[in-house]
Structures are given as C-alpha cells and as structure tokens.
Chain A
Amino acid sequence: MSRAPSRLSRYARPLLGLALPLTLALGWELAVWLGWSNGRLVPPPSRVFATIVELARSGELTRHIAATLYRVGLGFVLGVVAGTLLGAIAGYWSLARRLLDPTIQALRAIPSIAWVPLFILWLGIFETSKIALIAVGVFFPVYLGVMGAILSVDRKIVEVGRIFRLSGPAMIRRILLPAVLPAYVVSLRVGLGLGWMFVVAAEFMGASEGLGYLLIDGQQLGKPAQIVAAIVIFAILGKLTDWLIEIATVPLLRWQDAFGRERGGA
C-alpha cells in the first residue's frame, strides 16, 4: 500500500503537470485539423512550431533572442549590483537605513513603467533606456531581499561570531553572508522574473529587434503565430535562466534543513 503511491508520485508527478497543457494543445490541433475552426486568430501548435522553425532558419530568431538576452542580462546585473550594495548598506547600518530606506520605499511605490517616458527623454530611445528600465525592475526585489535577510539574521548566531572575536569583515564573510544566502537566492530569482517582465515593456517602446519586437510586429502585421511563438520562447528562456540560478546555487545551500528538501522541491 505504501510502495505504489510513492512510485506513482516519483514518475507521475512531473508528467501530471504536463497533462493539462498537452491535452489542450492536442485538442486544439485536432479541432483545427478537423476544420471546426480555421485557427487564424488562435494558431494551432503545429503552426506556431513552423513559425519558430522558419524564424530559426532565417537567422532572425537568434538575432532577436540575442538582443533580448543581452538587455535582460545587462539590466539584471546592474539591478543586482545596485540592489545588493544598497540593500547590504541599509541592512548593516541603521543610520543608512533611516536615511535611505524611506526614499527607496517611496520610489518603489511608483509603478516602474511610469519611468519610461522620463528614461526615454533622459537616455534616448535606444539601448540605455531599455536597460535602465530592466535594472530598475530588478533592483527593488533584490534590495528588499538583501536588507530583510540581513535584518533577520539570528542574533544568537551573531553572538557566536562575537564570542570568537570576529572583526567586522570576518563577521560579514563568515556569519552574515552565509546566513543571508538562501533569502538572497530567492530575491535573485524574483528579480530575474521581473527582469523578463520589464524587457517586454522596454521592447514595446520602439525596438527594432528582440522578442518584444516580434510581439509588436506580429500584432501590427496580423501574425498571431509569431506572437505565440515569441511568448513560448519567453517562457522557455525565463524558465531556463531561473533554473540556471537554482542549479548554480544548489551546492551553496546543501546545508539547508528546509521543508522543500524533504518534499523533493518544486
């Protein structure tokens, strides 16, 4: 009685998640194939796939993906660096927190898209304004995550560091950094998610390449298959980069005694 469900869950759990989208996709494919719908506004999977293949063959796809990846990558790095630095400063020095945090929280309350006109005026229509917008999106979750993590480091663990007379830098390196690492990884993943969100907004404002451009282009030329193709690629890239962060940090977080580990994670 105990063996069967565990074997089922081991192999069937990932498959279970695929059941719904696969059924819907195959169902729609079948509906179009049987002529119940012409599939013009909602293209069947085969047509989306064909569009992707065509884009890939012409070299267009690589160019668009490269442009988007470059923007997300650079915006993410800038946002992470700024968020980590300011978050660490605000978490570590209470004076800096009282000075900085109210302003940053007020800025956070502004929907980031509202910056777009200003960024275009300041930084021009090309790459700089796009990357700035993405960096802003990434900055806030990373800043909040780092500051919150530092503020919630267990006083008892810090006392162990004090007992062994760690200097300031040693306390940061040997106690604070490892203690905030799990929360930091989460904030990186949230930040990356927002980076992907904002790259679309950024590419809506006058781009000539990038996956967001494919979306706009598909809308203006009435090519829904191209829109869905771009969405699918966004999904794949988003999941892939998130997974990269997860994989890269697994060796650093092996020590965690967490609920998720026992359950086999997400």
Chain B
Amino acid sequence: MLALERVSKTYPNGVEALARFSAAIKQGEIVAIIGGSGCGKSTLLRAIAGLDRASSGTVTLDDEAISSPHAKIGIIFQEPRLLPWLSVADNIGFGLADLPAAERRGKVARALERVGLADKADAWPRELSGGQAQRVAIARALVPQPEVLLLDEPFSALDAFTRRDLQDHLLDLWADTRPTLILVTHDVDEAVVLADRVLVMRPRPGRLFDQIEINLARPRDRNSPLFDSFKRNVLTSLDRSLDRNVPDRDATQGPGQAMWW
C-alpha cells in the first residue's frame, strides 16, 4: 500500500504547490489524478517518485518512507525521455544493468514482443514515431517490474487515435503483473477509461478536492451511457474545484470539455 500523509511542497520562491495531501492507495489499484493547471499534480507525482522531496508530510510504500527514487517505483514521463545513444532494446534494458546479460536479453525481448516493437529492437530512438517511443518508455518502466508505476500525462503529446490505442495497451500490460498505477492527466476520458478511482485536485495551493470511484467493469465501453455519466460526474467535480457556477449537469457536458488544462 502506498500512503501519502499530509504531503506539502513549498518551493524556494514561496509558491505553495501542494498543501496537506493525504491518500491511501491499495496495491494494484489504478488512480487518476486530475485537476486544473497549477493544482500540484506533477509536484505530487515527483514527490512519490522521490525526485523531489516534500517540504513536509510523508510518502510511504509498504511502511518504507520514500525520499529518493526507489526500486519498486517506476515513472513514465510526458515525453518518452529515451536515451538517444542507446538502441531501443538497450533503452528498455536500461534499468536491468545488474542482471546477467542473458537474463536481461530475455526480459528485453519479451518486453519488446509485448509492446509490439520486436522488429524495432535495433532501431535508434530517433527513428521511432511518438507513439512507438512512448511504448518503449512504458516497456522500460515496466521491465524491472515495479510495484507502483507513476504516469505523468503520458499520452498528452499524442494524437487522439494513438492515445486511445496506448490507453488500451497500458491496461493490457497492467493486467500482467497488476502494479499500482497513479496517472496524472488532463483528460477526463482517459481518467474514466483507466482508473478505479479519480482524485480531483484543486489549485492554489494544490490540495485534494474530491474522490470519485469508477465502478465500471473492464474492458470499458467509451460509448456506454454509464461511462458518460461517470465522465459527467468528474467534469462537474472539476468545475466545482475551480469555483465555477454549475447551473445544471447537462450544460457542463460540451464537446470542448473532454480535455482539461
């Protein structure tokens, strides 16, 4: 279990990015964190990853305090961040340097197969499309088998079709070992497709505003009325988090509001 207790972050310039954020996330749960810009989503994720230290409060994974990057916690960034001087296969195997070469090769080959890029093993990162590069980043993060995988708006730079494809693919990969997924996103659709629970955050300073359980069986049909009603719930909550007036629920459901930033 991943426990966040009163996690706060104030930057040296005085900006309070995150204020007393608490949450408990079960092993294997998929949680989406959504909120307007400046609500501290990325700050929170970086604190869980151990990249930045919280100003106060604690992050613990199975009773172990996290203050620096941890072997059981992986992260996928908005950009693939592949190392351009390594082949695709070597990028995926980057976190496996401690394993014997044969074992590493086997794991990398299986991961390549799993993300559908077996024919790209020897390619350079510059030769990949945006979606392929992000698949490699996913494989690189998953191959050391983390217990918790953090995703910082991982699909926001991709086109709508590729994004959908990768969302389904991510769920498929998740089912292999069922790590905990914590996904920061702007995209209400993405949150409802993927998450068991959506945490809505409120900006200035960033704090938890609302939680919405998504009790939908998987695979989820993006076009079902139930899916729509969950989406509307999240959107309404988002609107309230930004102190907007919400005259009635239907009015908030315009096509332009499926994406939030």
User: Which of B70-78, B156-164, B170-178, B190-198 lies at the interface with chain A?
Assistant: B70-78
| Main DSSP-derived SS at the B contact region | loop
Please tell me if the beta carbons of B69 and A162 are within 8 angstroms of each other in the complex. Answer: yes
> Is B95 engaged at the interface, CB distance under 8 Å to the other chain?
yes
- Cβ-defined contact, B75 with A163, below 8 A: yes
Whether the pair B49, A163 counts as a contact (CB closer than 8 A) is yes
A117 within 8 A of B: no
Contact of B79 among A156, A174, A181, A256 (CB under 8 A): A156
Q: A164: CB under 8 A from chain B?
A: yes
Contact string against B for A residues 168-206, beta-carbon threshold 8 Å, 1 for contact and 0 otherwise: 001000110011010000000000000000000000000
Encoded as 1 (CB less than 8 Å from any A CB) or 0, chain B from 56 to 71 comes to 0000000000001111
Residue of A nearest to B91 (CB): A160
Chain A residue at smallest Cβ distance from B124: A255
> How near does chain A come to B125, taking the closest CB pair, in angstroms?
8
A140 to B70, CA, bound (A): 41
Q: B24 an interface residue at 8 Å Cβ cutoff?
A: no
Is A163's CB under 8 angstroms from B69's CB?
yes
Report Cα–Cα, A157/B79, bound state, in Å: 10
A157 to B75: give the CA distance in the assembly, Å: 13
Given A255-B124, A255-B126, A163 and B84 contact (CB-CB distance below 8 Å): no
Q: Complex Cα distance A79/B51, Å?
A: 38
Q: Complex formed: what's the CA distance from A181 to B70 in Å? A: 29
Residues of B within 8 A of A162 (CB): 51, 69
What residues of A have a CB within 8 angstroms of the CB of B95 in the complex? 164
Q: How large is the interface on B (under 10, 10 to 19, 20 to 34, 35 or more residues)?
A: 20 to 34
Chain A interface mostly: helix
Residue of B84, B94, B126 near A164 (CB, 8 A) is B94
Closest Cβ of chain A: how far from B112's Cβ, in Å? 18
Question: A257 contacts B126, CB within 8 Å?
Answer: yes
Contact partners of A156 in chain B: CB under 8 A: 77, 79, 81
- B85-115 interface code vs A (CB 8 A; 1 in, 0 out): 1100000001101000000000000000000
Interface string of A115-150 (1 = CB under 8 A from B): 000000000000000000000000000000000000
Tell whether A257 pairs with B84 under 8 Å between CB atoms, given A156-B77, A163-B74, A165-B69: yes
A157→B83 contact, CB < 8 A: yes
Cβ of A63 to closest chain B Cβ, rounded Å: 43
Residues on A lying within 8 angstroms of B by beta carbon are 156-157, 159-160, 162-165, 170, 174-175, 178-179, 181, 254-257
New A-B pairs, 18, CB < 8 Å, besides A156-B77, A181-B85: A157-B81, A157-B83, A160-B81, A162-B51, A162-B69, A163-B51, A163-B74, A163-B75, A164-B94, A165-B70, A174-B97, A178-B85, A254-B124, A255-B84, A255-B85, A255-B124, A255-B125, A256-B84
Identify the B interface with A (CB < 8 A).
49, 51, 68-71, 74-75, 77, 79, 81, 83-86, 94-95, 97, 124-126
Top 10 nearest A-B pairs (CB, nearest first) are: A257-B126, A178-B85, A164-B95, A255-B85, A255-B124, A163-B69, A160-B81, A165-B69, A255-B84, A156-B81
